[in-house]
């Protein structure tokens, strides 16, 4: 082994330098093995290797459960996007996680023997945190140009049970966990979000000991402060516009939702109707217009209250000036599409929050959904589709039943 490195930055460059220890006059096949996959990380790595090596093709191996997160169509589109290079992705099917992280450039002679190559083993997945992102994970990488080691690696890859992207949603009974994971991934979770704009943009102060002794003083409450045990807060921004969409969301959850401890599970195809793009844009326009109208007066009021609270010795001096804190919240709000959607919809949408290694949590959630659907005398469309899909062991059956 030529190198053994623990690194946090420059990982992609280090990896490509190790892979570059080859006979650059020959054509090589690039093999990428990783439990997890990120299309941006893969593309950047492939492009960088092409800068110094002749590549005949690229073969990517990832765990089936990780592949399911993207879906077969997405993975095939990624492969097809390389017009001047043959790129293939294989999903490794195993009851245990395919956890390998191996990168190799291999040149094979006419008789099938490896004549040139470099192989890199380590802890880095083919992801942003693993290879691309600055300040991501600490990783170790080891490389070798031993042709016997490379040949053994290729032989072991040939023994793996693999699937093409188009085969991802076809399951046998032996692949029960993969099926359950795939079915859960075909929906999103919907959680009601109670915080409103006024709460989010409020200013909170930590009370001093003097302030705590005066929380029964009516002057703070009269001035509009919300009094708690150790803090006081005040809402300055007012926004009365209410989008006409909440009834539609309640109907969606009633007709398509499956209740879980994470919130309601809703099919991805149905969840898209929660957000009317035009109505969301109208909401944003009205919101930003009202922020522009009120912001200067709000800054003046915050400054006035802050000076009063300090002079009276009622609060501890905060690390950030409250006016700056308010403007920081405004800036975060206007640049955060996810937060704007939450405020607009009153709901938060999120994908399955469990990593594929959290098998117990995934199986518990799936069983809970089956039990809930079975217990309902009047089953909605998603409940019927979920149960029929599981009975037939078919993801396609879910979509077919949902559309009936």
d(CA 70, CA 90): 13
Percent of all residues in the chain with a pLDDT value above 90, rounded to a whole number: 58
Angle at 365 (CA atoms; ends 361, 370), nearest 5 degrees? 150
Cβ pair 148, 126 in contact under 8 A: no
| Per-residue pLDDT, 260 | 96
- Mean pLDDT, all residues of the chain: 89
pLDDT of residue 386: 97
Domain spans of the chain?
3-167, 169-404
pLDDT tens, residue by residue, 271-301: 877 766 677 788 889 889 999 999 999 999 9
Helix (H) or strand (E) holding 158, with range, is helix 147-159
Confirm if 74 and 168 have CB atoms less than 8 A apart: no
What are the angstrom distances between the C-alpha of 250 and each of 43, 254, 258, 399?
Answer: 41, 6, 13, 22
pLDDT score at 246: 57
Six-digit token pair at 345? 């919809």
Distance of CA 29 to the CA centre of its chain: 31
Q: Structure tokens of 50?
A: 């092409």
Parts of the chain with a pLDDT under 50 = none
Instruction: Please give the Cα distance from 274 to 89 (Å, whole number).
Output: 33
The size of the chain, in residues, is 404
In three-state secondary structure terms, 160 is: coil
Please give the structure tokens belonging to residue 222.
């009269």
Q: What is the pLDDT of residue 87?
A: 97
Burial class (CB in 10 A: 0-12, 13-18, 19+), 170: middle
Per-residue pLDDT tens for 367-377?
999 999 999 99
Neighbours of 47 (CB within 10 A): 11
DSSP for 295-353 reads HHHHHHHHHHHHHHHHHTT-BPPPSS-HHHHHHHHHHHHHT-HHHHHHHHHSEEEE---
Rounded CA gap, 235 and 233, in Å? 7
CATH homologous superfamily, domain 3-167: Endonuclease Chain A (3.30.870.10)
Tell me what pLDDT residue 355 has.
Answer: 84
CA distance 211 to 214: 5
Please state whether the predicted TM-score (pTM) of the whole model is above 0.85. no
Coil vs helix vs strand at 143: strand
């Amino acid at each position: 082994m030529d190198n053994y490195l623990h690194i946090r930055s420059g990982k992609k460059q280090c990896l490509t330098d190790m892979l570059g220890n080859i006979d650059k006059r020959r054509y090589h096949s690039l093999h990428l093995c990783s439990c997890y996959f990120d299309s941006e990380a893969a593309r950047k790595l492939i492009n960088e290797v092409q800068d110094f090596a002749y590549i005949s093709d690229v073969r990517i191996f990832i765990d089936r459960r990780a592949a399911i997160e993207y879906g077969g169509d997405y993975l095939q589109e990624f492969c097809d996007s390389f017009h001047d290079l043959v790129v293939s992705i294989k999903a490794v099917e195993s009851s245990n996680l395919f956890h390998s992280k191996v990168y190799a450039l291999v040149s094979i002679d006419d008789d099938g023997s490896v004549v040139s190559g470099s192989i890199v083993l380590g802890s880095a997945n083919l992801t942003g945190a693993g290879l691309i992102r600055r300040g991501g994970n600490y990783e170790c990488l080891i490389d070798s140009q031993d042709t016997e080691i490379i040949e053994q690696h290729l032989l072991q890859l040939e023994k793996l049970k693999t699937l093409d992207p188009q085969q991802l949603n076809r399951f046998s009974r032996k692949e029960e966990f993969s099926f359950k994971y795939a079915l859960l991934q075909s929906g999103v979770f919907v959680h009601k979000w109670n915080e409103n704009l006024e709460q989010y943009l409020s200013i909170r102060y930590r009370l001093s000991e003097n302030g705590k002794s005066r929380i029964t003083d009516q002057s703070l409450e009269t001035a509009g402060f919300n009094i708690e045990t150790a803090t006081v807060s005040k809402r300055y921004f007012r926004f009365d516009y209410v989008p006409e969409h909440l009834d539609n969301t309640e109907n969606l959850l009633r007709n398509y939702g499956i209740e879980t401890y994470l919130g309601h599970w809703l099919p991805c195809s149905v969840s898209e109707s929660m957000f009317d793009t035009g109505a969301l844009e109208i909401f944003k326009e009205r919101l930003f217009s009202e922020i522009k109208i009120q912001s200067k007066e709000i800054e003046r009021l915050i400054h006035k209250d802050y000076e009063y609270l300090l002079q009276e010795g009622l609060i501890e001096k905060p690390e950030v000036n409250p006016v700056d804190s308010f403007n920081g919240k405004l800036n975060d709000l206007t640049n955060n599409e996810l937060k704007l959607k939450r405020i607009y919809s009153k709901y938060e949408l999120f994908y399955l929050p469990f990593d594929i290694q959290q098998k117990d949590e995934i199986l518990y959630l799936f069983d809970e959904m089956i039990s809930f659907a079975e217990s309902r005398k009047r089953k909605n469309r998603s409940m019927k589709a979920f149960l029929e899909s599981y009975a037939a062991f078919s993801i396609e059956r879910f979509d077919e039943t949902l559309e009936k």
